[in-house]
Structure 1
Amino acid sequence: MYDPTVARLTYRALLGRRRALILFLLPVLLIAISVAVRALTGADDQVAADVLGGFALATMVPLIGVIAGTGAIGPEIDDGSVVYLLSKPVKRPTIITTKLIVAIGVTMAFSAIPTFIAGMILNGNGQQVAVAYTVAALVASIAYAALFLLLGTVTKHAVVFGLVYALVWEALFGSLVAGARTLSVQQWSLALAEKVAGSDLVKSDVGLPVAVVLLAAVTAGATWYAGQKLRTLTLAGED
């Protein structure tokens, strides 16, 4: 369920000059903030958790997921160039799976690695904060990539809807409405981070078993439905 040619084309599209600049911007900002905070406050475990939870996991990871997930297929559908890809002898579920793998890889690289570096800068991984939030970023990258790849197949406004989910639902409603946190990729990934940290510095409103089930269900469901939507795209001359 992986095609090297599709992967190469997807990487090229995601890491083009314009998108690469956006992808690098948020990690650079996170590390710059971490350097400044460390210089001002010293190594403080609570401050490290606040920065990594408040900016890295709550803002950077979902935004990078939006860029990578929607960018993996959305532009090809919007401009019609997807017909050239669909005309090749590659099964459509394989196209989706390959693009998802690429989107996950890009999201992880531009979110989890900077999160770990920032955590080491902030407090040298005291209380396992850096590792815990890195695990959360890795897990969240998978679910975000699947969700936003699905959006890229079902709407031309995938980026807008992705930003609404990431910044309005998770960041705003998630902080104000307790029930909304249950339907939050951020909270699901935090459940794993809480297990890794083993302290009150990292807390989730969702239990670990529920979080694992929801992460798996959303990722699998989004991937399957994206494949189904791609199947409905027909080429001229197809019956």
Structure 2
Amino acid sequence: MNATIAVITFRAMLGRRRALLLLALPLVLLVLSVVLRVTDNNDIDISADVLQRFGLATLLPLLALIAGTGVIGPEIDDGQIMYVLTKPIPRQVIVLTKLAVAIVLVAAFAVVPVLMSGIVLQGTTAGMAPAFTVGVLVGGVAYSAVFVALAVLSRNAVTIGLLYALVWETLLGNFAPGAKSASIQQWALSVVDALTSASPVKSTVDLPVAIALLVAVTAAGTLLAAYRLRSLPVASAE
């Protein structure tokens, strides 16, 4: 971790436009939860559906995409990253710092709102609120690592990330069981399923497999980003 890089990255990510993007979806989730609670449309089936489809399947990957690509992608695109690479800072430290910032942002703008939404909808019933909180957190770490790696590997990271989150996990996942099981969303849902007794929450992946895959994807994304960053030519900073 490098404190200076972390502070600069937080300042860049929390600028006016990016902050609005990070706040928009959590606010929609919270408002929806309050409306459902006030109108007594918050039975356990509806609550689980909101937390899974909106919180885990929509809010989490989109916020992780904004955070994961935003912490390093713009610096690579405009060449500013080269000034950091000329400093005596190991490339893996740069990547780990950027990843840590992305994870903190996901925790603040996805994990906390999902916890608040779960409490508004169901309180402590069936342990659903803390279960989804843990699931969104572990899923957020994996998503962040993947999207940071994408940002280092490609200038089209946002497009590729959207295709993965919206096409592979959401669209194909509803029709192809193989695609559904090979997704961070399902692995995170497996963690949720293990932590709550709410019957509507069901995952297609066994918990040990899901945990192993989450760890493997997180490690692979981090290592790949560090390796690719190491190969960027410092001379292009001129």
Retained in 2: the 8 A contact 1:48–1:129? no
Question: What secondary structure, in the 3-state scheme, does the structure 1 residue paired with 2:20 have?
Answer: helix
Residue 156 of structure 1 aligns to a residue in which SS? coil
Q: Distance in 2 between matches of 1:154 and 1:179?
A: 26
Match of 2:87 in 1: 88
SS in 2 for 1:206: coil
The Cα shift of 1:158 comes to: 0.7
CA distance in 2, matches of 1:181, 1:51: 19
Q: Output the CA distance in 2 between the equivalents of 1:173 and 1:135.
A: 25
Query: Is residue 157 of structure 2 the alignment partner of residue 158 of structure 1?
Result: yes
Q: Which amino acid aligns with 1:133?
A: F
After superposition, give the CA deviation of every residue in 1:95-122 in whole Å (9 maximum; x if it has no partner).
0011111111111111010001111111
State how 1:11-50 maps to structure 2 within 5 Å: 11-50=10-49
Distance 2:78 2:13 in 1: 16
Tell me if 1:202 matches 2:201.
yes
Cα distance in 1 between the residues matched to 2:179 and 2:40: 33
1:96-111 superposed matches below 5 A: 96-111=95-110
| 1:218 equivalenced with 2:214 (yes/no) | no
Alpha-carbon distance in 1 for matches of 2:188, 2:214:
8
1:47-126 to structure 2, matched below 5 A, reads 47-126=46-125
Post-superposition Cα deviations, 1:60-116, rounded to whole Å, max 9, x if no partner, equal 000000000000100000111111111111111110011111111111111010001
Structure-1 separation of matches of 2:103 and 2:33: 25
Paired with 1:57 and 1:43, the residues of 2 have a C-alpha distance of 18
What is aligned with 1:184?
183
CA contact (8 A) 2:110 2:136 kept: yes
| Alpha-carbon distance between aligned partners in 1 of 2:22 and 2:236, rounded to the nearest angstrom | 39
Alpha-carbon distance, 1:12 to partner: 1.2
Deviation of residue 42 (structure 1)? 4.0
- Amino acid corresponding to residue 7 of structure 2 in structure 1: R
Question: Once the 2 structures are TM-superposed, how far is the Cα of residue 18 of structure 1 from its aligned partner?
Answer: 0.9
Alpha-carbon distance in structure 2 between the residues aligned to 1:237 and 1:110: 35
Contact 1:170–1:184 (8 Å) recurs in 2:
yes
Unaligned 5+ segments in structure 1 are none
Runs (4+) off by over 3 Å: none
Give me the TM-score of the superposition, normalised by structure 2. Answer: 0.96
* Preserved contact between residue 149 and residue 226 of structure 1 (Cα < 8 Å): yes
Query: Is 1:68–1:145's contact at 8 Å kept on the other side of the alignment?
Result: yes
Partners of 1:135 and 1:237 lie apart in 2 by 42
CA contact (8 A) 1:96 1:223 kept: yes
Percent identity (aligned) = 47
Q: Contact (CA 8 Å) 1:3, 1:94: kept in 2 or not?
A: yes
* Kept in 1: contact 2:128–2:197 (CA 8 A): no
State the 1:50 CA deviation.
Answer: 0.5
Return the letter of the residue paired with 1:40: T
1:237 deviation in Å? 8.7
Cα deviation for residue 40 of structure 1 reads 2.6
Structure-2 separation of matches of 1:137 and 1:121: 17
Return the offset for 1:232.
0.6
Residue 230 of structure 1 deviates from its aligned partner by 0.1
Secondary structure, in 3 states, of the residue corresponding to 2:234? coil
Instruction: Report the 3-state secondary structure (helix = DSSP H, G, I; strand = E; otherwise coil) of the residue aligned with 1:41.
Output: coil
How many pairs were matched up?
A: 237
CA distance in 2, matches of 1:142, 1:193: 15
Unaligned runs of at least 5 residues, structure 2: none
